[in-house]
């Protein structure tokens, strides 16, 4: 019987199992789950994410055509070393780790020539962790980075791409260095940004009052501080240089921002930064992706024409006037329609 | 007829009007709305948040027993100056601005002795702005800072407290300096933290790729970058010193964090910071409020016992062992119950 083995039956591993079961309903397939925390494997079995738990890594990969590593990153190294001799010739190994350069290095070191390793990283997650939070729709619409080793067979890359699609995700090919630089910026840096903000306020003498007053904005900005520490620590020490690079740039950005905030002789630089960010953020959230698309969509998403008076750069003011004119036309148009409907 | 006047019929002002209409259904009350952006006032009237729009500030406060300022902060200064002579003796003026020291200073300057000013600040909001986003339940369960001027009559403080309760919020008394320091930490700093993160990534050459890969974590951490720029700018320049203070402390926190990240000789400090933050954040999100309560609830919320192995401080390890023991007992207990039910 075709067999898939999932190492790590937490949120990601169990969600993959659930989705696979759903997509392959009725197919002749066994999903084996292995987790160093046995209760996790049992829980994954209970929710139907795996067919059976097998704690011994070598026994778990016996007869498996596809092996998925969904553990914290450092655990993958030990797992690869331990199970590699038991992998079947022709098997395909992939992972879901948040950094890729180190994982691919370990794969090259331990995976035998007859086995292909193709790295993967689904860009999805949620606040709750563990198999109890597993969700077959977790990866729906998400990007799934696919990072093959040079040695991987072409059909192995196809299988991992198909796995990403089966999960409802969109595969995106890149190399390990690109991947690690990108995720340092949009995933690892945000985690540290959130952690530092939570740490600072939590350690304040005023925390009892601060925590009472804190509303949705604080909760959203600090949400990533709740990330599982083992996962986050493994990420930090396997992507240290890239994260440090972005952290330095972020600190410089904050330094400039503070300079603008404290400059009482010129309040326009701060306003321009705040308004550009607000417009561009609305465009980004409105679904615009990439620099070009956002530049185009800015005009449609400008949030508040009161801002117009304070826009000081002539080009921005001209854009804004044009927007206001169009917005007023649209409002009049919709009011005309509303009046028409009432008749 | 009793009359309430709301200046600024955006999200906050229109939500107050909607809730008041709901709470006072059938009562003999007129809600007058004034907005320098007339389409906002018209829209607020359409959704039933105000009974009529009156653009002239002096005419708008005629006969009003309660006047609510829900405009951006700097606009309040001009409004107070302009309408103060037209305020009725015995009237009560309050506001919803995000900073209080400056607003109270303006109130002392312009509000006549026969009128009471009691500052207010509902700790609620959402991503969408404008009267179209108005929601009678916006303030449900939120804290509402109440910051009276020394000169305010006792019954005026009671009226503003009752207003907060009518909105479904919990009033919290504090003075202006306390208020501005607290909100700098949990509202204004997070906004700049989010803006700097969005600005940095948005300005990167890799933004097209970054924005494709960015998932929920990035979106949540940067959400406040979409804050209306006029509102944010007014906050920044009326609470500059407090925000700069917290921004300096935040930058120092990041410097230490980066030092820990780059220290390859000792990886334990970073892990301890990440795990403490993760535990404490889960406790905070689980509803624990204040230092003491969180210290107590930490034990109940520890997310992953795999962390145990890596906990290096003896006290934390002892706590963790105790937790694991209790957690295992609970798991066994629930499994016993599950087996019992299956019989």
Tens digits of per-residue pLDDT, B179-221?
Answer: 999 999 999 999 999 999 999 999 999 999 999 999 999 999 9
For residue A259, is pLDDT > 60?
yes
pLDDT of res. A267? 80
CB B80 within 8 A of CB B54: no
Name the minimum distance, in Å, from the CA of B114 to any CA of chain A.
32
Structure tokens at B113: 């002795």
Query: If pLDDT is split at 50, 70 and 90, which confidence band does B267 have?
Result: confident
> Are residues B214 and A305, on separate chains, in Cβ contact within 8 Å?
no
Contacts of B230 (CB under 8 A, 6+ apart): A275, A304, A306, A307, A310, B72
Name the minimum distance, in Å, from the CA of B122 to any CA of chain A.
9
For residue B127, is pLDDT > 70?
yes
pLDDT of res. B97? 96
Among B216, B228, B304, select the one facing A129 at the smallest CB separation: B304
Name the minimum distance, in Å, from the CA of B142 to any CA of chain A.
7
User: Which residue of chain A is at minimal alpha-carbon distance from B71?
Assistant: A306
User: Which residue of chain B is at minimal alpha-carbon distance from A121?
Assistant: B213
Average pLDDT, chain B: 87
Query: If pLDDT is split at 50, 70 and 90, which confidence band does A290 have?
Result: low
Give residue-wise pLDDT tens across range A88-105.
Answer: 999 999 999 999 999 999
Of A290-294, A304-308, A312-316, A328-332, the range with the lowest mean pLDDT is A304-308
pLDDT of res. B305? 33
Give residue-wise pLDDT tens across range A277-288.
Answer: 999 999 998 876
**Which residues of chain A make contact with B250, given a CB cutoff of 8 A?**
196-197, 200, 254
Q: B239, exposed or middle or buried, with CB in 10 Å at 0-12, 13-18, 19+?
A: buried
pLDDT of res. B290? 55
pLDDT of res. B125? 82
**Which residues of chain B make contact with A174, given a CB cutoff of 8 A?**
209
d(CA A106, CA A87): 15
Of A51-55, A110-114, A302-306, the range with the lowest mean pLDDT is A302-306
pLDDT of res. A322? 46
Name the minimum distance, in Å, from the CA of A73 to any CA of chain B.
13
Q: Which residue has the higher pLDDT, A323 or A139?
A: A139
> Are residues B290 and A212, on separate chains, in Cβ contact within 8 Å?
yes
Give residue-wise pLDDT tens across range B14-73.
Answer: 999 999 999 988 888 999 999 988 899 999 999 999 999 999 999 999 999 999 999 999
Q: Which of B42, B131, B216, B221 to mutate to test the interface with A (most CBs of A within 10 A)?
A: B221
d(CA A283, CA A303): 10
**Which residues of chain A make contact with B196, given a CB cutoff of 8 A?**
250, 253-254, 257
CB A95 within 8 A of CB A8: no
Query: If pLDDT is split at 50, 70 and 90, which confidence band does A335 have?
Result: low
> Are residues B172 and A212, on separate chains, in Cβ contact within 8 Å?
yes
| Strand, helix or coil for residue A148 | strand
> Are residues A257 and B209, on separate chains, in Cβ contact within 8 Å?
no
For residue B232, is pLDDT > 90?
yes
CB B95 within 8 A of CB B120: yes
> Are residues A310 and B233, on separate chains, in Cβ contact within 8 Å?
yes
Give residue-wise pLDDT tens across range B282-323.
Answer: 999 887 665 444 444 444 433 333 333 333 334 344 444 444
User: Which residue of chain A is at minimal alpha-carbon distance from B11?
Assistant: A304
CB A118 within 8 A of CB A92: yes
For residue A311, is pLDDT > 60?
no
Name the minimum distance, in Å, from the CA of A289 to any CA of chain B.
6
CB atoms within 10 A of CB A126: 14
Could you say which DSSP state residue B184 is in?
I
Give residue-wise pLDDT tens across range B165-181.
Answer: 999 999 999 999 999 99
Give percent of chain A above pLDDT 70: 84
How far apart are the two ends of chain A, measured CA to CA in Å? 68
Query: If pLDDT is split at 50, 70 and 90, which confidence band does B328 have?
Result: low
Q: Which residue has the higher pLDDT, B272 or A299?
A: B272
Give residue-wise pLDDT tens across range A115-167.
Answer: 999 999 999 987 778 899 999 999 999 999 999 999 999 999 999 999 999 99
Average pLDDT, chain A: 87
Q: How many CB pairs under 8 A join A and B?
A: 338
| Strand, helix or coil for residue A157 | helix
DSSP track, A83-114: HGGGSPTT-EEEE--S--HHHHHHHHHHS-TT
pLDDT of res. B230? 87
Region A261-281: what's the mean pLDDT?
A: 90
Domain architecture of chain A: domains with CATH? 3-174 (3.40.50.720), 175-262 (1.10.3660.10), 265-343 (no CATH)
pLDDT of res. A288? 63
pLDDT of res. A330? 52
**Which residues of chain A make contact with B125, given a CB cutoff of 8 A?**
215-217
Query: If pLDDT is split at 50, 70 and 90, which confidence band does A269 have?
Result: confident
């Amino acid at each position: 019987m075709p067999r898939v083995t999932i190492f790590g039956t937490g949120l990601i591993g169990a969600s993959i199992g659930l989705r696979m079961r759903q997509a392959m309903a009725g197919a002749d397939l066994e999903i084996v789950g292995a987790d160093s925390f046995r209760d996790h494997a049992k829980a994954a079995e209970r929710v139907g994410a795996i067919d059976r738990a097998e704690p011994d890594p070598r026994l778990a990969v016996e007869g498996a055509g596809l092996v998925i590593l969904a553990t914290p990153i450092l655990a993958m190294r030990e797992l690869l070393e331990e199970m590699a001799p038991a992998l079947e010739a022709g098997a395909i190994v992939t992972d879901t780790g948040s950094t890729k350069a180190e994982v691919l290095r370990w794969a090259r070191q331990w995976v035998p020539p007859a086995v292909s390793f193709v790295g993967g990283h689904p860009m999805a997650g949620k606040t709750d962790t563990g198999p109890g939070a597993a969700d077959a729709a977790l990866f729906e619409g998400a990007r799934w980075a696919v990072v093959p080793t040079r040695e991987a067979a072409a059909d192995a890359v196809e299988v991992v791409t198909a796995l990403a699609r089966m999960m409802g995700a969109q595969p995106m090919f890149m190399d390990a260095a690109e991947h690690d630089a990108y995720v340092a910026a949009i995933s690892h840096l945000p985690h540290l940004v959130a952690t530092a903000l939570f740490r600072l306020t939590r350690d304040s003498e005023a925390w009892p009052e601060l925590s009472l007053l804190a509303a949705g904005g604080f909760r959203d900005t600090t949400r990533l501080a709740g990330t599982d520490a083992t996962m986050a620590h493994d990420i930090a020490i396997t992507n240290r240089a890239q994260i440090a690079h972005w952290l330095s740039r972020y600190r410089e950005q904050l330094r400039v921002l503070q300079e603008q905030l404290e400059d009482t002789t010129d309040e326009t630089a701060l306003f321009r930064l705040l308004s550009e960010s607000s417009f561009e953020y609305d465009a980004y959230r409105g679904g615009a992706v990439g620099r070009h698309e956002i530049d185009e969509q800015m005009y449609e998403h400008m949030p508040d024409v009161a801002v117009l008076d304070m826009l000081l750069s002539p080009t921005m003011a001209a854009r804004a006037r044009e927007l206001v004119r169009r917005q007023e036309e649209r409002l009049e148009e919709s009011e005309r329609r509303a009046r028409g409907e009432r008749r």
